[in-house]
Amino acid sequence: MSKPVREVEVTTTEECKGRVRALVDSGSYHTFIREDKVPAGALVVKMKSPKLFGQAELDTKLVAIGTIYLQIHIENHDIDAHAFVSPKLTVDMIIGAGDMQRWDISVVNDNGHTSLRIGHDLNDPDVQTVL
C-alpha cells in the first residue's frame, strides 16, 4: 500500500506556524519533524543526549535531538501530536502509527487513488469533552 504525502500546517504551543509535507506512515510508530522545518520561534525541548531509532534500512539509525508539541491541520482536520525533532530526516515530517491510531487515521487505496480517512478531530465536541 502506498504511503500518502500531504501538505499540512503545523502550529506550536507558541502559536508559531509553518507548512510542511507530511508522510503518513504506519511503518513508523512515532511522529517526527525535520529540525529545519520546525516553525521559527518554536520551543524545542532538547534531549540531554540524542535518541536513536532503528530504520527499515539495515544498520541505519534515525537521530532525534528533541521533542515538540504540534497541532497538525491535515485535510480540514486538526489533530495534535508530540513529535521528535530530527536533523537529518529525509522528508519534512512523518506522521506515525501512534498518532494514526489515536486520531483514527486510515490510508484508503481505491483503484490507485490514495486518500486519508480521519475519524477524530480536535474540533469534534466528543474529543473536546472532559468528564
Per-residue pLDDT of the chain (131 residues; tens, 9 = 90+): 467 999 999 999 999 999 999 999 988 999 999 999 999 999 999 999 999 998 766 678 899 999 999 999 999 999 999 999 999 899 999 999 999 999 999 998 888 888 899 987 777 776 666 66
Assigned C-alpha cell, 46? 532538547
Question: What's the predicted TM-score (pTM) here?
Answer: 0.88
Query: CB–CB of 65/83 below 8 Å?
Result: no
CA dist., res. 53 & res. 39, Å (int): 23
Q: Supply the pLDDT for residue 124.
A: 72
CA distance linking residue 20 with residue 87, whole number of Å: 15
Do 89 and 22 meet the contact criterion of CB atoms below 8 Å apart? no
Q: Report yes or no: 23 and 37 within 8 Å, Cβ to Cβ.
A: no
